[in-house]
A and B are shown apart, each in its own frame.
Chain A
Amino acid sequence: MPYDDLRSFLGTLEKEGQLLRISDEVLPEPDLAAAANATGRIGENAPALFFDNVKGFTDAQIAMNVHGSWANHALALGLPKNTPVKEQVEEFARRWDAFPVAPERREDAPWRENTQEGEDVDLFSVLPLFRLNDGDGGFYLDKAAVVSRDPEDPENFGKQNVGIYRIEALGANRLAIQPVPVHDVAIHLNKAEEVGEDLPIAITLGNDPVMAIVAGMPMAYDQSEFEMAGALRGAPAPIATAPLTGFDVPWGSEVVIEGVIESRKRQIEGPFGEFTGHYSGGRRMPVVRIDRISYRTNPVFESLYLGMPWTECDYLVGPNTCVPLLKQLREAFPEVQAVNAMYTHGLMVIISTKKRYGGFAKAVGMRAMTTPHGLGYVAQVIVVDEDVDPFNLPQVMWAMSAKVNPKEDVVIIPNLSVLELAPASEPAGITSKMIIDATTPVAPDVRGNFSTPAKDLPETAEWAKRLQDMIAARH
Chain B
Amino acid sequence: MNSKLVDGAECPRCPADTITHLATSPVPGVWDVLQCTHCLYTWRTSEPDRRTRRDAYPEAFKLTDADIENAIEVPAVPPLRV
Contacts and interface: CB of A to CB of B under 8 A. Distances in A.
Interface of A: 27-30, 55-59, 122, 124-125, 129-131, 134-135, 137-139, 168-172, 178-181, 186, 189-190, 193-196, 264, 266-269, 271, 279, 281-286, 420, 428
Given A29-B51, A57-B27, A171-B22, A267 B40 contact: yes
B74 A138 contact: no
Given A29-B51, A281-B71, 11 more contacts: A58-B26, A134-B61, A138-B41, A138-B42, A181-B74, A193-B78, A194-B81, A195-B80, A196-B80, A264-B77, A285-B73
21 contacts: A29-B46, A55-B27, A55-B30, A55-B46, A57-B25, A129-B33, A134-B61, A135-B60, A137-B13, A137-B42, A138-B40, A138-B42, A168-B42, A172-B1, A194-B78, A194-B79, A269-B40, A282-B67, A283-B73, A283-B74, A428-B72
Interface in B19-60: 22-23, 25-27, 30-31, 33, 35, 39-44, 46-48, 50-51, 58, 60
B77 A134 contact: no
A229 B5 CA distance: 46
Given A29-B51, A122-B1, A181-B74, A169 B42 contact: yes
Contact of A420 (B33, B67, B74): B74
Contacts, number: 120
Residue of B23, B27, B35, B58 with most chain A CB atoms under a 10 A cut-off: B23
Which secondary structure characterizes the binding site on chain B?
loop
A215 to B, nearest CB: 19
A5 B71 CA distance: 39
Nearest to A119: B1
A316 B71 CA distance: 30
A266 B33 contact: no
Contacts of A134: 50-51, 58, 61
Main secondary structure of the interface of A (DSSP, over half): loop
A404 B67 CA distance: 44
Contacts of A135: 58, 60-61
Nearest to B33: A124
A17 to B, nearest CB: 32
Contacts of B33: 124, 129, 139
Contact of B27 (A29, A58, A179, A428): A58
Contacts of B47: 29-30, 131
A263 to B, nearest CB: 9
A137 B40 contact: yes
Contacts of B79: 194
Nearest to B75: A181
Contacts of A171: 1, 22, 35
B48 A29 contact: yes
A62 to B, nearest CB: 14
Given A28-B44, A29-B44, A267-B40, A195 B81 contact: yes
A275 to B, nearest CB: 16
A180 B74 contact: yes
Contact of A271 (B61, B73, B74, B78): B61
A266 B77 contact: yes
A279 B26 CA distance: 31
A474 B65 CA distance: 62
A52 to B, nearest CB: 14
A398 to B, nearest CB: 39
